[in-house]
């Protein structure tokens, strides 16, 4: 409250009922590095509220922008908080965050060449003016940088919001929002716009609910258990352990050591192994599962082994169980023994894309105990491909992970650590090799610490949970604070965007997506559907058939 006492003192030094100059709505009262204070004439705000320009009508309200002249430059600031001055009810004290500056065009007086950051701060007493829609268009104009338009800047009616694609993908991005805020549709909107801009792109999307296949039928390829055909031998040793090793504690170490020895022996039986000088347990060389079980059987019979037969039996039983289970046939089928690595990578990474730049990997119908391993293998293939293709013409890949909190959890124990490690590594090192990461989640507070702060662009829709809001605030840059306070008050399909992908932090009303391009994620209407009846026996019959055959 000490700052407001300062406002009392300032008001006392003025003729009572301070009047702002004709066009100005107030003046700078206190200056600090990031956050400063204005005093605004309340009667002037009331007069501007009826202005036909929606930006000027919003002037002086929380979340609105104001401008002030410093030499030949206009500074733009965002209003973060407001309070009435206790000495005079006509004076409002407002906290602002500086967004950036733009030059003044000599003939028209318009703002142009807007850039982030402030060179010179205003002095107390500098007049403050409302920002018009025309100014907003100049501030948010995408100039000549490659960009996609995704919506309209709040509170204008026609200023388009642009995302700078290179900056957004170059430094990763995160799309956050509680369930039901339009997160899936917004993700589809952004990816469709990027696909339209770059039809020869390379995008891999992990889809845990089977929502996006319908949205990208025309410009993408959809893979699920029926056509993914992911060869088991592409797994590295850590992923093999997650699938085949079931024991815990010291027994796990023993089992893992045995698996490493036998897996290396199985891989070395392949003709390819002869041409590879340094074959390791992680090398993606095809091997037969039957070879692996035979080697385990032979090792178990040796007298000089350091342990009993139990670890060998555990491993052999688990491998045989997975081989015979039809639910795992998309990965552990005997048909996947051939060296199909080149075809598989070309298919998944869209090399070449043929005008369909996005691969949707639908993991919804996979057994839940293997989903994290599948995501781990795919994510690691993206990273390893980029790592070993450094000397080739670059083909950057965008990896989009829906429900990211499942795969990068904040817990460091339990299963699924392989996928957590590789996604954390992509977040930290991916951009050096041309791998971009897009994270979509409704629970940012459940993400591993540090991953969110690696995302250069954050697109936040409404978040209802206090803990989630605090996490996002911690990850967002300083100048976006005024916008962050409005996260709980956002409407559906509205978002706050800040970071590298936008010129300055913005609040956007997102565009409507065409019906055929939307994901299958709309909420059911209980009142409509509960009025319908008939055909229940057939519904149950068809559902149970699919259930029993574990297929769709």
The CATH number that applies at residue 198 is 3.40.50.300
Distances in whole angstroms, Cα of residue 477 to Cα of each of 98, 370, 466, 473, 481: 12, 37, 19, 8, 8
Q: For residue 551, is it within any domain?
A: no
Q: For residue 285, is it within any domain?
A: yes
**Does residue 213 carry a pLDDT above 70?**
yes
Tokens of 511: 């565009």
Confidence label for 326 from pLDDT (cuts 50, 70 and 90): confident
pLDDT digits over 331-346, tens only? Answer: 887 777 777 788 888 8
**Does residue 427 carry a pLDDT above 80?**
yes
**Structural domain boundaries, residue 241:** 234-329
Confidence label for 296 from pLDDT (cuts 50, 70 and 90): confident
* Confidence at residue 145, expressed as pLDDT on a 0 to 100 scale: 76
CA proximity to 61, closest of 134, 137, 131: 131
Q: For residue 153, is it within any domain?
A: no
Please say whether the beta carbons of 208 and 403 come within 8 A. Answer: yes
Three-class SS state of 60: coil
Give the C-alpha separation, 426 to 413, whole Å: 20
CA proximity to 456, closest of 83, 218, 235, 164: 164
pLDDT digits over 363-403, tens only? Answer: 888 888 888 889 999 998 998 888 888 878 888 889 999 88
Q: For residue 1, is it within any domain?
A: no
SS (H, E, C) 482-527: HHHCCHHHCCCCEEEEEECCCCCCEEEEECCCCHHHCCCCCCCCHH
Assess whether 123 and 25 both reside in one domain: yes
Q: For residue 300, is it within any domain?
A: yes
* Confidence at residue 400, expressed as pLDDT on a 0 to 100 scale: 92
Mean per-residue pLDDT for 21-37? 74
Residue that finishes a domain, picked among 329, 355, 388: 329
Q: For residue 370, is it within any domain?
A: yes
**Does residue 206 carry a pLDDT above 70?**
yes
Confidence label for 34 from pLDDT (cuts 50, 70 and 90): low
Give the C-alpha separation, 448 to 435, whole Å: 19
Assess whether 39 and 62 both reside in one domain: yes
Assess whether 224 and 239 both reside in one domain: no
Confidence label for 10 from pLDDT (cuts 50, 70 and 90): very low
Assess whether 253 and 316 both reside in one domain: yes
Between 70 and 11, residue with greater pLDDT: 70
Q: For residue 146, is it within any domain?
A: no
pLDDT digits over 406-421, tens only? Answer: 888 887 766 678 888 8
Question: What percent of the chain lies above the pLDDT cut of 70?
Answer: 90
Between 362 and 523, residue with greater pLDDT: 362
Give the C-alpha separation, 183 to 195, whole Å: 18
**Does residue 142 carry a pLDDT above 70?**
no
Assess whether 204 and 320 both reside in one domain: no
Helix runs in 408-465, H state only: 417-433
* Confidence at residue 33, expressed as pLDDT on a 0 to 100 scale: 65
Give the C-alpha separation, 399 to 419, whole Å: 13
Assess whether 418 and 371 both reside in one domain: yes
Q: Region of 7 please: left (phi>0), alpha (psi -120 to 50) or beta.
A: alpha
Assess whether 220 and 241 both reside in one domain: no
Residue that finishes a domain, picked among 275, 301, 329: 329
Assess whether 196 and 314 both reside in one domain: no
Q: For residue 533, is it within any domain?
A: no
Assess whether 300 and 347 both reside in one domain: no
pLDDT digits over 437-493, tens only? Answer: 999 988 888 888 778 888 888 888 888 888 888 888 777 766 566 677 777 778 888
Assess whether 87 and 197 both reside in one domain: no
Assess whether 95 and 36 both reside in one domain: yes
> Phi and psi (nearest 5°) for 32?
-140, 170
| Size of the chain in residues | 552
Structurally, the chain folds into a number of domains equal to 3
Q: Is the pTM of this model over 0.85?
A: no
Assess whether 280 and 224 both reside in one domain: no
């Amino acid at each position: 409250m000490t700052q407001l006492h300062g406002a009392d003192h300032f008001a006392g030094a003025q003729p009572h009922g301070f009047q702002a100059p004709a066009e100005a709505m107030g003046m700078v009262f206190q200056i600090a590095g990031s956050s400063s204070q204005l005093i605004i004439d309340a009667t002037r705000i009331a007069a501007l509220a009826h202005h036909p320009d929606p930006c000027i009508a919003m002037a002086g309200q929380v979340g609105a922008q104001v401008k002030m002249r410093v030499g030949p430059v206009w500074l733009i600031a965002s209003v973060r908080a407001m309070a009435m001055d206790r000495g005079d009810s006509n004076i409002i004290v407002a906290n602002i965050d500086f967004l950036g500056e733009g030059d003044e065009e000599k003939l028209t007086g318009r703002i142009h060449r807007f850039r982030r950051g402030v060179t010179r701060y205003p002095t107390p007493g500098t007049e403050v003016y409302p920002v018009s829609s025309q100014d907003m268009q100049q501030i948010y104009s995408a100039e000549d940088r490659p960009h996609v338009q995704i919506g309209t800047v709040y509170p204008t009616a026609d200023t388009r919001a642009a995302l700078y694609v290179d900056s957004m993908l170059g430094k990763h991005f995160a799309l956050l929002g509680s369930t039901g805020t339009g997160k899936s549709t917004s993700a589809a909107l952004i990816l469709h716009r990027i696909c339209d801009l770059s039809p020869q792109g390379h995008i891999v999307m992990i889809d845990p609910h089977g929502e996006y296949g319908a949205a990208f039928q025309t410009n993408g390829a959809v893979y699920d258990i029926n056509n993914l055909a992911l060869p088991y031998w592409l797994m590295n040793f850590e992923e093999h352990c997650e699938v085949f090793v079931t024991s815990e504690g010291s027994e796990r170490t023993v089992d893992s050591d045995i698996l490493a020895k036998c897996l290396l022996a199985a891989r070395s039986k392949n003709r390819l192994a002869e041409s590879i000088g340094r074959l390791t347990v992680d090398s993606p060389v095809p091997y037969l599962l039957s070879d692996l079980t035979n080697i385990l059987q032979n090792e178990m019979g040796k007298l000089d082994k350091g342990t009993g037969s139990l670890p060998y039996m555990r491993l052999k039983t688990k491998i045989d169980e997975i081989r015979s289970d039809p639910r795992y046939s998309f990965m552990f089928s005997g048909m996947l023994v051939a060296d199909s690595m080149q075809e598989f990578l070309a298919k998944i990474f869209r090399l070449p894309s043929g005008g369909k730049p996005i691969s949707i990997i639908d993991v919804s119908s996979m057994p839940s105990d293997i989903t994290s391993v599948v995501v781990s293998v795919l994510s690691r293939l993206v990273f390893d491909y980029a790592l070993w293709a450094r000397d080739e013409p670059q083909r950057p890949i965008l990896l989009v992970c829906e429900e990211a909190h499942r795969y990068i959890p904040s817990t460091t124990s339990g299963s699924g650590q392989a996928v957590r490690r590789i996604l954390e590594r992509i977040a930290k090192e991916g951009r050096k090799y041309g791998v971009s990461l897009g994270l979509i989640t409704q629970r940012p507070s459940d993400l591993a610490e540090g991953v969110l702060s690696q995302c250069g662009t954050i697109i936040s829709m409404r978040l209802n949970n206090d803990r989630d809001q605090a996490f996002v605030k911690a990850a967002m840059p300083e100048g976006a604070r005024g916008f962050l306070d409005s996260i709980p008050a956002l409407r559906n399909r509205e978002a706050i965007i800040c970071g590298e992908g936008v010129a300055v932090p913005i609040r956007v009303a997102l565009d409507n997506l065409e019906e055929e391009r939307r994901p299958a994620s709309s909420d059911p209407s209980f009142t409509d559907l509960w009025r319908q009846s008939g055909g229940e026996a057939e519904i149950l019959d068809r559902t149970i058939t699919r259930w029993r055959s574990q297929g769709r």
